[in-house]
Amino acid sequence: MLRGMAITGYILRRLWQGLVVLVGASVIVFCITSFFADPAKLMLPIAASQTEYEQLKEKLGFYDPAYVRFLRFLGGIVRLDFGKSLWQGVPAMQLVLERLWATTLLSLSAIGIATVIGVPFGTFAALKPRSKLDRFCTVSSLTGVSVADFWLGLMLILLFSVHLRWLPTSGYGAKELLLPALTLAARPLGRIALVTRSAMLDELNRPYVTTARAKGLFEGRVVFYHALKNAALTVVTLCGYEVGRIFAGYAVIIETLFGWPGIGQLAVQSISNDDLPVVQAVVFVAASIVVVLNIVIDLCYAVLDPRIHYT
């Protein structure tokens, strides 16, 4: 009961902190996009006169004091209304939400691939430290972390689309998902394997493992049930963190490369087009996802590790 109350208090406090983060992020976006960009110039035809330009700026509220503009912006955020896209004339938020599922699907597939391969890889490497398998695991993981993901994507296109003609280079669908997901999986895979190896090395050196072995438990149960359960904490954190990283940036390049219609591609398009409302909406949504993910990760701790107390 007490624990439940403590957790509720903890969640509330984390939500409050998350709110502060989101407001801060909105301030940054607002400052950059509103004070330096000039949408009025963009919306008018090139032949428009100076007075027309001034009138439009007046209408858009460009000559209001900064705090009025900022309050208007904040008021919009509360209603999740970032205004209409300058290019498509639809509410910016609607555009972002339409694309959100594609990015979610892509990031979850990538992390899924990375976890399913990375965790066993790291575990087996930790079982025989300094062996050939361990060296192979470490070096290939480091390679996965070091390779530029968009280059890996290009190489996969070269192999699977240009030479073998098995998979399409771009588009949206089940077959089209495979290449971008594999590309995005490389970096998390390397990191998950390295972290699993390191965490398992720590766990396998603990006395409880010796106890479990001394009781005569099967090695498989000792490793995969007892040790891996404790190592899982670190791995879960990392997975959550990596999903956040994909939303916060990695998706941008890969989606552009493969023409995957997610929020990353939308972000690059709207940045190139100076479509400020959409840029603001994308940044806000991406930041919210990272904030929520961080809270969810912390709560996973509570489920996986009953020793943790929330104060």
Q: Does 253 bind another protein (CB under 8 A)?
A: yes
Restricting to residues 268-287, which ones interact with another protein according to CB under 8 A? 268, 271-272, 274, 279, 282-283, 286-287
* Residue recorded with tokens 């916060």: 248
Helices (H), the chain: 2-36, 39-43, 50-59, 66-78, 92-127, 132-146, 149-156, 174-204, 207-214, 219-221, 228-245, 251-258, 263-272, 276-304
Measured distance CA(17)–CA(20) in Å, rounded: 5
Nearer of residues 55 and 133 to another protein, judged by Cβ: 133
Contact residue for another protein among 100, 267, 278, 281 (CB under 8 A): 267
**Is there binding between residue 131 and another protein (CB under 8 A)?**
no
Specify which residues 91 forms β-bridges with.
Answer: 84
- Indicate whether 155 belongs to the interface with another protein (CB under 8 A): yes
The reply on whether position 201 binds another protein by CB under 8 A is: yes
The answer to whether 28 contacts another protein (rule: CB under 8 A) is yes
Q: Which residues contact 161 (CB under 8 A, 6 or more apart)?
A: 167, 168, 169, 179
Which residue in 120, 129, 168, 259 binds another protein (CB under 8 A)? Answer: 129
* By CB under 8 A, residue 167 contacts another protein: no
**CB of 23 vs another protein, minimal distance in Å:** 9
Question: Residue 147 or residue 302: which is nearer to another protein going by CB?
Answer: 147
Burial 89-120 (b: 16+ CB within 10 A, else e): eebbbbbbeebbebbbbbbebbbebbbeebbe
* Segment interacting with another protein (CB under 8 A) among 153-161, 209-217, 221-229, 297-305: 153-161
- Selected from 6, 7, 11, 37, the binder of another protein by CB under 8 A is 37
Burial of 262 (0-12, 13-18, 19+ CB in 10 A): buried
CA distances from 103 to 51, 193, 213, 243, 256 (A): 43, 24, 44, 10, 12
Q: Please, what is the minimum distance in Å from the beta carbon of residue 306 to another protein? A: 26
β-partners of residue 84 are 91
Tokens matching residue 212? 């479990």
What amino acid occupies position 59? Answer: K
Q: 145 or 233, CB closer to another protein?
A: 145
Contact pick of 133, 248, 297, 302 for another protein (by CB under 8 A) = 248
CB closer to another protein out of 55 and 248: 248
Select the residue interacting with another protein from 71, 219, 249, 305 (CB under 8 A): 249
CB 243 within 8 A of CB 109: no
Q: Name the CA dihedral angle for 168, 169, 173, 175, rounded to a multiple of 10 degrees.
A: 40
Q: Is residue 143 part of the contact set for another protein (CB under 8 A)? A: yes
Examine residue 85 and tell whether it contacts another protein (CB under 8 A): no
Site for another protein, rule CB under 8 A: 17-18, 20-22, 24-25, 28-29, 32-33, 36-37, 129-130, 139, 142-143, 145-148, 150-152, 154-155, 157-158, 162, 201-202, 205, 247-250, 252-253, 256, 267-268, 271-272, 274, 279, 282-283, 286-287, 290-291, 294
